């Protein structure tokens, strides 16, 4: 059986808490996007065949986990790596889904994600792969997830505490400036350890109020301006935790782009996704082209090349289809 797996990117708005002084640690907040996306086509074979090293590695792990033979995988589309749109988790889960469906094996990507080392801090990537939408996860008990996750096999992906479909007429402005990649791997682990050890617990109190009183109601009611303003404030408060690690509330050149975009009436809720350099904003179908032009002008004004996209929110999960 040949199968196709199509999974969209995700934005990571921030965490609810990074202080060891509170009972729950992390608690991701994010949104699923229709694009950019990772698209894989796969069929069972007796060995691993793939020209993409990252996908090949995840396919090999997946075959071992499922106890199946090999798989041949073609990468039709790939997500840009380490720019803040969730390439690691979406690619890993897409490979797992491709291997399992090609071999006719039913699996839970949520249960197996930890075996691929995905979903350790934030559960947003796994949740958006499953069902899309605007997602809030529960985080982890602080006494177990301090500055580093427990050993493999001793933790699970955080549960989803809230999920909302976003209106079809909404659009997300995505700006990918040409800049150094965001942090990942050991560099990210070191940075997160430092952030958590020094996080101001009062920021989490402000974020909890913002989430409950503003962000969740706006998402549930589909109020774009209120949602955008709350998202922007949520990201800005998160940035205070990362300032020492990334050179400011937003990392360069995201901060300069955000300053430019915030002035536009066509864009609300401007922020940085994860470690960046991806910058996002929220608009609607009627203002999409004005938002795109504003972003292009913003890149030009700070003399930085980059890619500007207007994308839809994704209100369903990864699409898996059989190819006859």
Distance CA 123, CA 111 (A): 12
Give the architecture-level CATH label for domain 2-323: 2-Layer Sandwich (3.30)
> pLDDT for 221-277, tens place per residue?
999 999 999 999 999 999 999 999 999 999 999 999 999 999 999 999 999 999 999
Distance CA 7, CA 92 (A): 11
| Interior angle at CA 217, CA 214 and CA 223, nearest 5 | 90
Choose among 135, 188, 191: nearest CA to 158: 135
- In the chain, what are the domain boundaries? 2-323
Longest pairwise C-alpha distance within the chain: 56
Distance CA 128, CA 178 (A): 26
- By percentage, how much of the chain surpasses pLDDT 70? 97
Q: How far lies 80's CA from each of 169, 182, 184, 319, in Å?
A: 25, 11, 13, 19
Please give the pLDDT value at position 147: 65
Please give the pLDDT value at position 149: 65
pLDDT mean over 37-44: 98
Is the pLDDT score of 168 beyond 90? Answer: yes
> pLDDT for 177-201, tens place per residue?
998 876 676 778 888 989 999 999 9
Give the pTM: 0.95
Q: 201-210 vs 224-246: helix axis angle to the nearest 10?
A: 170
pLDDT mean over 269-297: 97
What is the number of residues in the chain?
324
- By percentage, how much of the chain surpasses pLDDT 90? 90
């Amino acid at each position: 059986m040949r199968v196709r797996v199509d999974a969209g990117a995700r934005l990571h708005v921030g965490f609810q808490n990074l202080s060891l002084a509170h009972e729950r640690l992390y608690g991701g907040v994010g949104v699923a996007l229709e694009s950019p996306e990772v698209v894989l086509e796969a069929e069972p074979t007796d060995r691993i065949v793939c020209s993409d090293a990252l996908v090949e590695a995840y396919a090999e792990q997946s075959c071992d986990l499922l106890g199946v033979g090999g798989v041949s995988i073609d990468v039709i589309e790939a997500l840009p790596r380490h720019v803040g749109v969730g390439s690691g988790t979406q690619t890993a889960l897409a490979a797992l889904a491709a291997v399992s469906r090609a071999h006719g094996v039913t699996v839970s990507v949520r249960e197996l994600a930890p075996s691929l080392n995905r979903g350790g801090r934030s559960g947003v990537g796994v949740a958006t792969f499953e069902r899309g939408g605007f997602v809030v996860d529960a985080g982890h008990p602080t006494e177990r997830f301090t500055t580093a996750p427990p050993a493999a096999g001793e933790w699970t992906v955080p549960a989803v505490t809230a999920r909302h479909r976003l209106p079809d007429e909404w659009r997300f402005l995505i700006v990918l400036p040409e800049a150094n990649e965001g942090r990942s791997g050991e560099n990210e682990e070191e940075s997160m350890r430092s952030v958590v050890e020094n996080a101001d617990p009062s920021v989490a109190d402000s974020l909890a109020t913002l989430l409950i009183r503003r962000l969740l109601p706006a998402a549930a009611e589909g109020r774009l301006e209120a949602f955008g303003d709350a998202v922007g404030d949520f990201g800005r408060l998160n940035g205070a935790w990362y300032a020492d690690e990334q050179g400011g509330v937003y990392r360069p050149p995201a901060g300069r782009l955000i300053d430019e975009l915030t002035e536009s009436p066509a864009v609300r809720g401007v922020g940085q996704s994860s470690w960046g350099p991806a910058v996002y904003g929220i608009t609607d179908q009627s203002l999409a082209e004005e938002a795109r032009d504003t972003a292009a002008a913003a890149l030009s004004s700070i003399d930085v090349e980059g890619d500007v996209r207007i994308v839809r929110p994704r209100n369903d999960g990864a699409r898996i289809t059989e190819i006859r």
